[in-house]
Structure 1
Amino acid sequence: LGRLGEAEAAYRSALALDPALYPCELNLAMLLAAQPERRGEAAQHVRRFLAGAPPGDPRAPEARAALARLSPDGRGGG
Structure 2
Amino acid sequence: MKRRGVGDRICILQVPQTSLPPETRQLYEVLVREGVVLEVYAVDQWGYPVVEYCANDEDGAEHYHWLSIDEYDVWEQVS
Structure with the higher fraction of residues in helix conformation: 1
Q: After TM superposition, is the score higher than 0.5?
A: no
> TM (normalized to structure 2)?
0.30
> TM (normalized to structure 1)?
0.30
| Structure possessing the higher relative contact order (Cα contacts under 8 Å, 6 or more residues apart) | 2
